[in-house]
Amino acid sequence: MKPFSGLTPGMLAPFLAVVLGMALFLFEPLPLQVLRNAVFDQYQRWHPRPYRPVPVRIVDIDEESLERMGQWPWPRIQVAELIEKLQKAGAAVVCLDIIFAESDRTSPKSMAATWNLPDDLRRRLKNIPDHDDVLAHTLSKGRVVLGFALRQEGSEQTRPARPFRVVFAGEPPLAFLHPFSSAVTSIPPLERAAAGNGALTFIPDSDGIVRRIPLAVRLHDQVIFSITAESLRVAQGQSNYIVKTAAQKGTGIEEIRIGGISVPTTPQGEIWLHYTRPAPDRYLPAWQVLADKAPRERLEGHIVLVGTSSQGIMDLRFSPMGTIIPGVEIHAGALEQIFTKDYLNRPAWAATVEALVILAGGLALGIIALAAPAVVSSVMTALVLIAAGWGAWIAFTRYGLLLDPVTPALALLITFILGSIVHHMKSEREQRWIRGAFSRYVSPNRVEYLVKHPEQLELGGERRECSFIFTDLADYTTLMEKIDPSGAVSILNAYLDEMITIAFRHGGTLDRIVGDAVAIMFSAPVIQPDHFMRAFSCALDMHAFTRRYADDLNAKGIAFGQTRIGIHSGEVIVGNFGGSTMFDYRALGDVVNTASRLEAANKYLGTLICLSEAILTGCPAAVVRPVGSLILKGKSRSLMVYEPITASGMNNNKPERDAAYEKAFELLRQCHPNAREAFEQLALERPQDPLVLLHLERLRAGQKGVVIVLDDK
C-alpha cells in the first residue's frame, strides 16, 4: 500500500494559517500597520482628493515674506497689524498656527529693562504701549483663534484656556481620546483676549506621516479641541461642542457637532485626511496682506489660517503623497474636507468584513490548495487576491471607505503557500515512492529524467556521443558448477548490486544485465559533457571493488574469478526502441559493439581493463600505458587501446607512468631491431606482467609493430 494515502497532520497547516491570519488581524503588529498604511497612501497618490475652492485660506509667512518683512519672530505689533488687516478684509475667523509662549522681547518695556540706557530714555520707552498689549487688544476685537502645543511627557499643570463648553451625548468620551500630560500655551493675556484656543498637535503614525488629525484630545481630565474645530466654532459664533459616542458601549466616538456642522470621526475623535495635489490657490503670502495687495474676495468670509512654509521655522510634516508640507496646510485640508463633506471613513463594519474574508477565503483557498492542481489553485488565489484589492480600491474611490486589503491578502497568501507546500510535499512523497519502486526495474537517472520529461516516453531515438562500460566475470560458469546454486546466486547478486551502485554513483545509466555481465552508458538520457571521465573513473572503481570482492571470496575458499572491463566512446543512437506494447531504452551503434569487444579482448591480452583512444581524449590526466592497435573481429580498421596503470598492479596507491614499458613499446611501434631485447629485459624484471609477455611472445613469433589482429569476438 502507498505510504502517502489518507489525511496527514501536515494537511492542517493551511487551516492553522487561517488562525494565524486572524491573530494578525486582531493584534495588528506594527509591521502590518506600516504595510496597511502604505497601501492607503498609495491609494491617495493614485486618487487624491480634487481641490475645490471653499472659504478656507492660508496666509503664508513664506520665504519671500521673511525677506520683505524681516526674519522671524516678527514683533507682536507686526503680527497685530497682520490680524487687523485680515479682520478689515472680512475674514470670518483668523487662526494663528503660532504659539506666543513668551513675552515679546522686542517690546519697549523689555528693551528698557535689558539695555543700558539713560533714565530719560528708559522712562520714555516704558510709556510706549507694550507689543503684547497691542496684540491682546487686537485679539479682543474677536474672531481670532490661538494655538497651543500638547506633549505626552512632563507633568506641568499648565492648562490652556477653554473658551467653550462641552456636552456629552452618550458615554463620556475621555477614555477614547488620545491622552496628553502637559501643554505649551501662549501667555495668559493673549489667551484671555482670544475668542478661541485650539491644539496644534498632530499624532503621526510610526513612520512620521500624518494620516489623521484629531478634532478632540484629552489633557488630564479635560476634553481639548484642535484649532481646526475651534476655527469652525468661532466662525459660527458658537460656544458649545457636542461629542456623541456610539450607542454600543465601549466602541468610541461617533461624531462631533460644532454648531450646525456634524463631523463623523474615528472612535478616537479623529478624521482621516484625504490629501490633494499642491493647490497654490489656497495660499496667500503674508507680505501681500501687510502691503494691502491681497484681493479682498480671497479673504472675505473665509477661515484664514496664518502659518508658515519656511523651512527655517521647521513647521513641516510628511504627507501620504510622498511630500513634505507645512503643518498649517494639514489644518486647511481638514477644514476643506469638512466643508465639502469629502470624508475618508473606516466604518465599524470594516473589521467584520475583513475577518470574514480571512476566515471564509482562507478555508476555501486552503482546501483548493490541498486538493486542486497547482495551476488551478494559483489562478483561484490570484483571482481572490485581485478581487479583494479591487474591492478595496472601488470602496476608496467611489465611497471614500478605507478597507484593509493587506491583512486579508497576507492571510490568504500564507494559507495558499502553506497549502501548496503541503500539496507539493504530498506529490513529492508520491513521486519518491513511484521513483523508488520504478528504480528497482529501471536505472534511477532514467527514472528521474522521465519524471521531469514525461514526453520522452515515446518511440524514437537521437544521435548522441556517449561512453560505454562493458564488464564480464571470468569463470562464472565454473563457479556455478562448484557451489550450491542458491549460494552462487547470492554471491552474484551482491556482486551485481555493488557494481550497479558504483555505476549510479558516477551518474551512469544501466543499459542491461546479461547473467553476470553488466553494460553501463554515460551521457544518456541526460547529457554529461564529462562522460569520458565518468566512464573512466567508474571503471577504476569497479575494478577496485572486484579485486577486493574476489580476494575476500578466494580467502574463504570460493574460487571467484576476475572481472574484465571494456570502455569505449563514440556516436550512437539512443532512445526508446520496441513496439507500442513494450519498449526499451538503449543505445544502438557500432560503438556499443566495440565496447563489448574490448571487454572480450582482455581475455586474449591478459589485461583486466581495456580503454579506447576515444575515451583517453576526454581524460587528459589519466595515467595509462599503450596496449596496441587492435583489429577486432569483423573490423578492417585498427583501434588504439590502453590499459590504466592502476589496473596493472604496479603502483595502485600513486599511479605513475611506466616509462620503461613506454620506451620498449615505442621501439615496437617503430619495428626497431632492439624491440625484442627491450621486452626480454622487461620480462626478466616483470615475469608476471601480461602485456610484456604478450608482446615478447609476438616478437619471438616473428611479428612486428603494434597492430594486433583478434580473430575471436
pLDDT, tens digit (0-9, with 9 covering 90-100), for 536-590: 999 999 999 999 999 999 898 888 889 999 999 999 998 777 665 556 778 889 9
What average pLDDT does the structure give for the chain? 86
10: pLDDT strictly greater than 90: no
Q: What pairs with residue 588 in β-bridges? A: 573
pLDDT at 433: 61
Q: Would you place residue 114 in the very low, low, confident or very high pLDDT band (cuts 50, 70, 90)?
A: low
Segment 415-433 shows an average pLDDT of: 74
* pLDDT category of residue 94 using cuts at 50, 70 and 90: very high
Secondary structure (3-state) at 60: strand
Section 339-360 average pLDDT: 89
**Element containing residue 609 per DSSP (H, E):** strand 609-612
In this predicted model, which residue has the larger pLDDT, 423 or 394?
Answer: 394
Contact between residue 443 and residue 510 where contact means Cβ atoms under 8 Å apart: yes
Residue 5: all three cell numbers together: 494515502
CB neighbours (10 Å) of residue 713?
11
Contact 276, 52 (CB under 8 A): no
**Residue matched to cell numbers 551518474:** 507
Question: CB under 8 Å to 650, separation ≥6 — which residues?
Answer: 658
User: 629-665 burial, b for 16+ CB within 10 Å, e for fewer?
Assistant: bbbbeeeeeebebbbbbbbbeeeeeebeebeebeebb
Judge whether 181 and 152 are in contact, CB under 8 Å. yes
**Measuring CA to CA, which residue among 512, 515, 517, 513 is closest to residue 480?**
515
- Residue 376: the pLDDT is 85
Residue 434: per-residue pLDDT: 56
Amino acid at 636: S
Helix (H, G, I), strand (E, B) or coil at 562: coil
Separation CA 334–CA 95 (nearest Å): 14
> Band of the pLDDT at 3, cuts 50, 70, 90?
very low
Tell me the mean pLDDT in the region 279-296: 94
Residue 223 belongs to what H/E stretch?
strand 222-225
Pairing of strands 563-578, 517-522: unpaired
Residues composing the chain: 713
Mean pLDDT, residues 371-389: 86
Q: How far is CA 204 from the centre of its chain?
A: 29
663-697: pLDDT as tens digits: 999 999 999 999 999 999 999 999 999 999 999 99
* Angstrom distance (rounded) from CA 536 to CA 583: 29
Name the least confident of 139-153, 370-384, 422-436, 637-651.
Answer: 422-436
pLDDT at 558: 86
Q: Are 471 and 563 in contact (CB under 8 A)?
A: yes
Categorize the per-residue pLDDT at 269 as very low, low, confident or very high, splitting at 50, 70 and 90. Answer: very high
Mean pLDDT of 316-324: 90
- Give the residue among 543, 681, 680 at the shortest CA–CA distance from 610: 543
| pLDDT tens by residue, 239-256 | 999 999 988 888 899 999
Q: What is the DSSP letter of 106?
A: T
Q: Which residues contact 179 (CB under 8 A, 6 or more apart)?
A: 152, 217, 218, 219
Q: Where along the chain do its domains lie?
A: 9-45+347-437, 50-340, 455-622
Dihedral in degrees, nearest 10, Cα atoms 509, 514, 515, 520: -20
Specify the higher pLDDT residue, 276 or 7. 276
Which has more confidence, 445 or 376? 376
Mean pLDDT of 357-382: 83
Residue 512's pLDDT band (cuts 50, 70, 90): confident
- pLDDT tens-digit profile of 150-191? 988 876 667 899 999 999 999 999 999 999 999 999 999 999
At 410 the pLDDT is 86
Averaged pLDDT, 33-57:
92
Mean pLDDT in residue range 418-432? 74
Q: Please report the pLDDT score of residue 582 as a whole number.
A: 59
Q: Are 321 and 38 in contact (CB under 8 A)?
A: no
Confidence of residue 509 (pLDDT cuts 50, 70, 90): confident
Amino acid at 374: A
The predicted structure's pLDDT at residue 438:
47
Q: How many CB atoms lie within 10 A of CB 487?
A: 12
Least confident range from 20-24, 84-88, 686-690: namely 20-24
| DSSP β-bridge partners for residue 306 | 59, 96
3-state secondary structure of 232: helix
Residue type, 595: A
Cβ contact 72:315 at 8 Å: no
Q: What is the mean pLDDT of residues 625-638?
A: 90
Specify the higher pLDDT residue, 96 or 118.
96
Give me the sheet containing 222-225, strands edge to edge: 179-180, 216-219, 222-225
Cβ neighbours of residue 289 closer than 8 Å, sequence gap 6 or more = 59, 82, 85, 86, 89, 299
What Å distances lie between residue 62 and 65, 80, 145, 293, CA to CA? 5, 18, 21, 16
Percentage of the residues of the chain whose pLDDT score is greater than 90: 57
| Mean pLDDT in residue range 587-605 | 92
Q: Look up cell 523508488; give the residue.
A: 436
- Residue 651 is predicted with a pLDDT of 43
**What single-letter DSSP state applies at residue 226?**
B
SS3 of residue 219 by DSSP: strand
User: What does pTM read for this prediction?
Assistant: 0.62
pLDDT value at position 245?
Answer: 93
β-bridge pairing 144-151 and 196-199: parallel
The pLDDT of residue 452 is 64
Q: What's the grid cell of residue 295? A: 484681493
Query: Does residue 30 surpass a pLDDT of 60?
Result: yes
* Side-chain half-sphere exposure of 712, counting CA atoms within 13 A: 7
pLDDT at 234 over 50: yes
Q: Quickly state the pLDDT bin for 457 (edges 50, 70, 90).
A: very low
Residue 610 in contact with residue 633, Cβ under 8 Å?
A: no
Three-class HEC string of 240-289? EEEEEECCCCCCCEEEEEECCEEEECCCCCEEECCCCCCCHHHEEEHHHH
Residue 484 identity: D
Domain 455-622 CATH (choose: 3.40.50.1100, 3.30.70.1230, 3.40.50.720, 3.30.70.20): 3.30.70.1230
